[in-house]
Amino acid sequence: GAGVSQSPSNKVTEKGKDVELRCDPISGHTALYWYRQSLGQGLEFLIYFQGNSAPDKSGLPSDRFSAERTGGSVSTLTIQRTQQEDSAVYLCASRLGGMNTEAFFGQGTRLTVV
């Protein structure tokens, strides 16, 4: 596709359920980032994939959060046993790789845990 695609755009889930958020990066982009943005707040780094290297998971807030990137393309962020404080917009971005390259963002997934 022409841009970064995230699905679903909105997700309402019950507390305690697991959710999966999907990100389709721009074709050929080797770097992929996940961020969490609470209402009106900044972008909290979650995880970063670069090519075949081990991902940088330093921003994942707890072991309920995990992410994978299959075949160097599509990425899935999984939140297990969701809690109300997980409610936020989850943004995905991709970059071509190397330096001086712009990060392109998806529209995000708004997750609401009720």
Partner 1 sequence: AQTVTQSQPEMSVQEAETVTLSCTYDTSENNYYLFWYKQPPSRQMILVIRQEAYKQQNATENRFSVNFQKAAKSFSLKISDSQLGDTAMYFCAFLDQGAQKLVFGQGTRLTINP
* 114 contributes a contact to partner 1 by CB under 8 A: no
Run of H or E including 105? strand 104-105
Q: What are phi and psi of 29, to 5 degrees?
A: -75, 125
- CA atoms of 7 and 51, how far apart (whole Å): 22
- CA atoms of 114 and 57, how far apart (whole Å): 27
* 40 contributes a contact to partner 1 by CB under 8 A: yes
* 97 contributes a contact to partner 1 by CB under 8 A: yes
Which residue among 23, 33, 77, 86 contacts partner 1 (CB under 8 A)? 33
| Neighbouring C-alpha atoms within 13 Å toward the C-beta of 99 | 0
Which residue number, 3 or 16, has a Cβ lying nearer to partner 1? 3
Which residue number, 6 or 82, has a Cβ lying nearer to partner 1? 6
Residues in 45-84 that interact with partner 1 by CB under 8 A: 45, 48, 50, 56, 58
- CA atoms of 78 and 19, how far apart (whole Å): 6
Contact positions vs partner 1 (CB under 8 A): 31, 33, 35, 40-43, 45, 48, 50, 56, 58, 89, 91, 93, 95, 97, 99-100, 102-103, 105, 107-108
